[in-house]
Amino acid sequence: MDDQAPPNPALLPAGLRDLLPPDAETEAAGVEAAMAVFAGHAYRRVKPPLLEFEESFVGGSGAAVAEQSFRIMDPDSHRMMVLRADMTPQIARIAATRLAAHPRPLRLSYAGQCVRVRGGGPGTDRQVPQAGIELIGADSAAADAEVMLVAVEALAALGLQRPSLDLTLPTLVPALLENAGMDAATQRILSRALDRKDAAEVARHGAAMAPLLTDLLLAAGPAAPALEALRRANLPATCRDLAGRLADVVGLVQRAAPRLRVTIDPLEFRGFRYHTGIALTLFAPGRHEELGRGGRYFSTDGEPATGITLYADAVLRAAIPRTERPTVFVPAGSDLAVAQTLRAAGFATLGGLDAVTDNTEEARRLRCSHVLVAGEPVPVVNHPSSAADTETDN
Amino acid sequence: MTAPFPQTAFAPDPEAEDALILVLPKGRILGECGPVLARAGVAPAADYLDDDSRRLRFPTNDPKLDVVRVRPFDVATFVAYGAAQIGICGADVLMEFDYPEIYAPLDLGIGACRVSVAEPAGAASEDSRQWSTVRVATKYPNIARRHFAARGVHAEVVHLNGAMELAPGLGLSRLIVDLVATGGTLKANGLHETEVIAHVTSRLIVNRTALKTKPEQIGAWIARFRAAVGS
């Protein structure tokens, strides 16, 4: 092995990346813009740590992400710690412990980085910046609709005006299969076939359930016909309540956001498996990645809760690229008060450290958009930053 | 950073979408796709069946649908990554790759064959339950590993892309796991089929995100193909 070339210092482990200018700034600003919308709806911010004890993380809703979590041993306590793969279990822990005495419903928001053992799909990142909200202690259609509408408003604040909201009922398939009295092996085969929408396998193994399952499988799509298919379907009582709640939520969401595209996939049940009611995924048309996910779950101690997490990186890849702040080259020895005025007007000022012979040329070399001439910002013609950055940094 | 994606999230008119891509497998199945495509009303440019054509992407009679042809194993990859929204793909390939991003909503009933285990016809009969490990030549490493793991045997996979049938005779492996249509190739190489892992046919597959974000468009194509296979 020692005849191998030394590793290239630029190489990062799979699924991890450096964010360069302007993307790192875009991500931070985007997260703050979303957090501002959350705060505007009185979702107050908490900041849990990156690491916590395995038992408390995995014990609650974190069980669903246990296999996605990196673990390390705490040299101090000799207990296992988990590097968070998702922040929702941490918020649930905070709500049930430190904020147990706070009045319900409790509205909390959070933003932070999560790390997963594997990415969420082909070619996806292992480090995911999350920004989200949780509404804890309320079990109603109004609560479900509120988090969806706040999330859609946050996307709009980032310039994503046409997201698409896909609603699912992750507990419907298990309840239907359980109710039909199927043995575990058949349930496993059917669950898998339903997950992949493999109609042929569903027909083959569904027995008496096959027509109902096929009907609901084909109903995945725009909200109105899907709700109609659920109404028509002969569902057991518990599932009927769930379908009724879904219809109420769709009604509330469409009344508040009539132009929002809402689709329903009644038989989907993938994702982190802690959801106990309506779950949702946000997409942008023409994009292959999810912008966010959320849904109803039981918080620590069985408290009803719902929430949504936006994946800041995916959201910002789908959003309009921010226009970069104009940067003025301020030659060494210029009046600092002028630079301050320019910054107040929205420019960035790049101060020359030494005197140079040609200020315009120096401004161009340092990729400034403007150069300060006689106290005024003058645009630099053909400055390379715009062309070079858009071509290489995306 | 990642390569740029088209910024279509802001297209002013939601109906002004790019053409959908239907990806077809080159080779054996392509001929069998013809009648299904015709019944579904898809007429690609005539040279799509021509193996010598250098084109890879073909327009169809529908301006909103283009056809591409790739190797059978790559069909699933194109659809999983969203490079194509719909495709026709053998169930063997779906079993091997197991992409969660792929939905397989329709059995087209074409390309029927099976994924099977085969061994030299004269091989001494052994009790395979006593094996700890077995060397298998295959182009389906995941299927082979899963199949033998389920019976407590570790499959040491020799990953080949073709001519699997040679492997046992030349001492490369004890068994092969391969796609069998008639069994003629096995017989000609002194092998016999000992076990069928799965019967497979070709499926209409769609990308999950495409179905979520363009349910009307993709749903209409699924319906057309469903009508075309008469189920």
- Residue A392 banded pLDDT, cuts 50, 70, 90: very low
* pLDDT given for residue A351 in this prediction: 95
Q: Which of A49-63, A162-176, A199-213, B51-65 has the lowest mean pLDDT?
A: A49-63
- Residue A124 banded pLDDT, cuts 50, 70, 90: confident
The ipTM estimated for the assembled molecules is 0.81
Residues of B in contact with A394 (CB under 8 A): 1-4
Q: Which of A242-251, B30-39, B117-126 has the lowest mean pLDDT?
A: B117-126
Paired sense of beta strands B202-207 and A80-83, if any: unpaired
The mean pLDDT of chain B is 89
* Same-domain status, A122 and A237: no
| A1 assigned to some structural domain | no
Residues of A in contact with B85 (CB under 8 A): none
Residue A258 has pLDDT above 50, yes or no: yes
Nearest-CA distance A137 → chain B (Å)? 30
Taking an 8 Å cut-off on Cβ atoms, the answer to whether A166 and B17 are in contact is: no
- Residue A389 banded pLDDT, cuts 50, 70, 90: very low
| A18 assigned to some structural domain | yes
* pLDDT given for residue A44 in this prediction: 97
Domain boundary residue, one of A268, A290, A311: A268
Nearest-CA distance A286 → chain B (Å)? 6
A220: nearest CB among B14, B106, B211:
B211
Residue A2 has pLDDT above 50, yes or no: yes
Nearest-CA distance A309 → chain B (Å)? 18
**Mean predicted confidence (pLDDT) in A36-45:** 98
* Same-domain status, A22 and A148: yes
Residue B158 has pLDDT above 60, yes or no: yes
Q: Whole-model pTM?
A: 0.86
Range of the domain at B150: 113-200
**Mean predicted confidence (pLDDT) in A267-272:** 77
* Same-domain status, B175 and B164: yes
Domain count, chain A: 3
Q: What count of other Cβ atoms lies within 10 Å of the Cβ of residue A327?
A: 22
Taking an 8 Å cut-off on Cβ atoms, the answer to whether A17 and B1 are in contact is: yes
Q: Tell me how far apart the alpha carbons of residues B55 and B145 are, in angstroms, rounded to a whole number.
A: 37
Q: What is the 3-state secondary structure (H, E, C) of chain B?
A: CCCCCCCCCCCCCCCCCCCEEEEEECCHHHHHHHHHHHHCCCCECHHHHCCCCCCCEEEECCCCEEEEEECHHHHHHHHHCCCCCEEEEEHHHHHHHCCCCEEEEEECCCCCEEEEEEEECCCCCCCHHHCCEEEEEECCHHHHHHHHHCCCCEEEEEECCCCCCHHHHCCCCCEEEEEECCCHHHHHCCEEEEEEEEEECEEEEEEHHHHHHCHHHHHHHHHHHHHHCCC
The residues facing A44 across adjacent strands are A108
Residue A114 has pLDDT above 90, yes or no: yes
* Same-domain status, B183 and B91: no
Task: Answer whether B79's CB lies under 8 Å from B87's CB.
Answer: yes
Taking an 8 Å cut-off on Cβ atoms, the answer to whether B5 and A288 are in contact is: yes
Does residue A124 sit at the B interface (CB-CB below 8 Å)?
no
Residue A270 has pLDDT above 80, yes or no: no
Q: Tell me how far apart the alpha carbons of residues A195 and A218 are, in angstroms, rounded to a whole number.
A: 13
* Same-domain status, B65 and B171: no
* Same-domain status, B37 and B117: no
Q: Is A265 left (phi over 0), alpha (psi -120 to 50) or beta?
A: beta
Residue A390 has pLDDT above 50, yes or no: no
**Who has greater pLDDT, A321 or A330?**
A330
* pLDDT given for residue A320 in this prediction: 75
The closest alpha carbon to B87, from B202, B227, B179, B219, belongs to B202
What's the pLDDT tens digit per position in B73-129? 999 999 999 999 999 999 999 999 999 899 999 999 999 999 999 999 887 777 888
The mean pLDDT of chain A is 89
* Same-domain status, A82 and A148: yes
Q: Which CATH number does the domain housing residue B122 bear?
A: 3.40.190.10
* pLDDT given for residue A39 in this prediction: 98
Q: What count of other Cβ atoms lies within 10 Å of the Cβ of residue B63?
A: 8
Q: Tell me how far apart the alpha carbons of residues A203 and B1 are, in angstroms, rounded to a whole number.
A: 44
B212: nearest CB among A17, A19, A263:
A263
* pLDDT given for residue B4 in this prediction: 43
Task: Answer whether A222's CB lies under 8 Å from A263's CB.
Answer: yes
A198: nearest CB among B6, B104, B214:
B104
**Who has greater pLDDT, A337 or A62?**
A337
Does residue A161 sit at the B interface (CB-CB below 8 Å)?
yes
- Residue A363 banded pLDDT, cuts 50, 70, 90: very high
Range of the domain at A17: 8-162+271-323
What's the pLDDT tens digit per position in B7-34? 444 444 444 467 899 999 998 889 999 9
Residue A383 has pLDDT above 80, yes or no: no
* pLDDT given for residue A123 in this prediction: 59
Q: Tell me how far apart the alpha carbons of residues A274 and A66 are, in angstroms, rounded to a whole number.
A: 12
Q: Which residues contact A185 (CB under 8 A, 6 or more apart)?
A: none
